[in-house]
Structure 1
Amino acid sequence: MKMAPGDPVLTILNADEMVVTEEDQAELRSKLGFDQPLYVQYGKWMFNLMQFDLGKSYMSGKPVIEELLTRIPITAELTFFAMTIMLCITVPLGVWSAKYVNKWPDQFSRILALVGASIPNFWLGLILIYLFAFKLSILPSSGIGSYSQIILPAFTLGFTFAVVYARLLRAGLLQSLSEDYIYAARARGVKEWRILWLHAFRAAVLPVLTIFGLSLGSFLGGAVVVEILFSWPGLGSLAVDAIFNRDYPVIQGYVLLTGIFVVITNLVVDLSYYVIDPRMKRKEEALGR
């Protein structure tokens, strides 16, 4: 951040529209601690962090924690709906293509995955805005407050990941359906839907969870782009505004919060293996003996 071009002191003093003297700059620079070495500035930030103090925003003057806590529910709402859309596309499409492998549903899924993986979030969002907001006028292009305003940003964020995860789920299902215990279940007369959903699906979903944990950073990065595109006032837009304004405390708070979220999510994904796949628990018990 410190190596990026721009000076937060000039931004705070609004040097583009007002006459700012060298004395004013030096006074504010000393007040913010910019006249000290970088390791001292970072050490002070870490010391305050141990006291759960992330500092105050240079632009608004509010505590960074307050700024983050205000935006978290807004981003959480967008993420929840995006993940819901992602699941509603991933599961049916993955199961459908695995059930009709190498037939037209599978080919359709393959083409859709290729298109979804190739389309950037911002381009897909612009296309959706053009079609549904301007041409058809059935959905709003931006804003917050109603469920209709969350459809386009949530679909933009969830679609590109959904079609890729659907192919991963398909591959996992094909592998699971070829296991010996599946043949044994069929020989016992177990119904096909029980074999698919209660046996094969539980094993096939593990690689999807793993990739989701690893790609969570990309998911959050996509959320930033989508929030800016659809004027969604969440954490992403807060971070972008802080970057443009060189608001270092807000940027540091956002990066820290994102890192914590990624670590916790990956931990939850790892723990979910024991719930979804009983073989993990039995394997650990065998190793314990």
Structure 2
Amino acid sequence: MLHIVKKRLIQLVIVLLFLSVSTFTLMKLAPGDPVQSILQVDQLMVTKADEAKLHKELGFDQPLIVQYGQWMLRLLRLDLGNSYMNGNPVWEEMLRRLPTTIQLTAGGLVVMLLISVPLGMIAARYPGRWPDQVSRVLALIGASIPGFWLGLLLIYFFAYKLQLLPSMGKGTLSQMLLPSFTLGFSMAAVYARLLRAGLLESLSQDNIRAARARGVPEWRILVLHAFRTALLPVVTVFGMSIGSLLGGSVVIETLFSWPGLGSMAVEAIFGRDYPVIQGYVLFTGVFVVVVNLLVDLSYGLIDPRIRLGKGASQ
């Protein structure tokens, strides 16, 4: 276990270094000038002298290597700087919006579990029969529909035509239903088929045959014996797809006006708010590495036969 933690910490340092260089470089190569965006927000009659003064205040008159070094020194002190648009510290902006993103992500995961687990188990219980075929069709539909298009369809039918649910904002459970379903449905399609494959493999093992020989009911075997082993590939893929989940939340938050980290990042991109963009990218990188660490550590809890830290040597 200590070996896994050490490996992930080294990976975290490498990821942060790579993200810091890449995001800083891309921000400088991106079209547009954040100084002009800031001055437009202030709605003042500005001159070239005002622009030059603000360039100097922000350090844009320094060579790029100097700008990067100054930013890295602040980053080592856990200082992500202040937003160009409102002057607030980036940490405060991210912490203020983080609970909202967590709420949406949790809602999407709940939707994913409510759809994928029953579909996967039913498909594994009746392989090749009509429940399995229905599960396959639903999985194909879910994997084929882009998230933004599904969200637009839900808004059109449930918010505009039927007027059953709100399409924007945050605060009530009804406002959370559409974005959560949009985020979780496409994930459910993938995980339903993955769970089905894991269950079919588990059901072919010797201990399952022994349980059947003892007269254990099939559903009890499926839920209590095979399901736990089938979770291993599901958890592995979840760790690898956490980046896609965060990327999907950016689209969903923008589509449903959900005030989370994703919509903050989009606003920062349009406003050339470099500190906010860089802070969001670094936070996402750290989050992905930490989640993958938790996934690695969870293997021993799911399957006691796995010995963390010894797998590499065996």
Same fold at TM > 0.5: yes
Instruction: Name whichever of 93-102 and 38-47 sits farther off.
Output: 38-47
Q: Deviation of residue 203 (structure 1)?
A: 1.0
Q: Deviation of residue 206 (structure 1)?
A: 0.8
Q: 2-side partners of 1:219 and 1:15: how far apart?
A: 32
Instruction: Identify which of 109, 113, 126 aligns with 1:87.
Output: 113
Q: Deviation of residue 96 (structure 1)?
A: 0.6
The within-5 A match list for 1:41-190 is 41-190=67-216
Structure 2: tracts of 5 or more residues without a match:
1-26
The yes-or-no answer on 1:206 pairing with 2:232 is yes
Contact 2:229 / 2:302 at 8 angstroms: preserved in 1?
yes
Instruction: Identify which of 13, 25, 28 aligns with 1:2.
Output: 28
The yes-or-no answer on 1:216 pairing with 2:258 is no
SS of residue paired to 2:248: helix
TM-score by length of 1: 0.95
Instruction: Identify which of 224, 229, 241 aligns with 2:267.
Output: 241
Q: Deviation of residue 242 (structure 1)?
A: 0.4
SS of residue paired to 1:20: coil
1:258 match: 284
Q: Deviation of residue 44 (structure 1)?
A: 1.2
2:38 match: 12
Instruction: Name whichever of 14-23 and 102-111 sits farther off.
Output: 14-23
Q: 2-side partners of 1:16 and 1:55: how far apart?
A: 20
2:298 match: 272
Q: Deviation of residue 275 (structure 1)?
A: 0.1
Q: 1-side partners of 2:265 and 2:238: how far apart?
A: 23
The alignment covers a number of residue pairs equal to 288
Q: Give the counterpart letter for 1:278 in structure 2.
A: P
Q: 2-side partners of 1:162 and 1:78: how far apart?
A: 15
Q: Provide, for residues 6-45 of structure 1, a one-character-per-residue CA deviation record: whole Å limited to 9, x for no partner.
A: 1001111118965432211111011101111222212111
The within-5 A match list for 1:11-50 is 11-14=37-40, 19-50=45-76
Q: 2-side partners of 1:284 and 1:12: how far apart?
A: 54
Q: Give the counterpart letter for 2:139 in structure 1.
A: A
Q: Deviation of residue 197 (structure 1)?
A: 1.8
Q: Kindly, what percent of the aligned residue pairs are identical?
A: 65
RMSD (CA atoms)? 1.9
Q: 1:8 to 1:283 in 2, by over 3 A?
A: closer
Q: 2-side partners of 1:102 and 1:69: how far apart?
A: 48
Q: 2-side partners of 1:282 and 1:220: how far apart?
A: 28
Q: Provide, for residues 28-64 of structure 1, a one-character-per-residue CA deviation record: whole Å limited to 9, x for no partner.
A: 0111011112222121111111212110000000000
SS of residue paired to 1:124: helix
Q: 1-side partners of 2:218 and 2:60: how far apart?
A: 67
Q: Deviation of residue 71 (structure 1)?
A: 0.2
Q: 2-side partners of 1:88 and 1:172: how far apart?
A: 18
Q: 2-side partners of 1:4 and 1:101: how far apart?
A: 51
Q: Deviation of residue 198 (structure 1)?
A: 2.2
Between the two structures, name the one with larger relative contact order (CA 8 Å, sep ≥ 6). 2
Q: 2-side partners of 1:35 and 1:99: how far apart?
A: 66
Q: 1-side partners of 2:196 and 2:116: how far apart?
A: 9
Q: 1:183 to 1:283 in 2, by over 3 A?
A: farther
Q: 2-side partners of 1:43 and 1:282: how far apart?
A: 38
Contact 2:300 / 2:308 at 8 angstroms: preserved in 1?
no
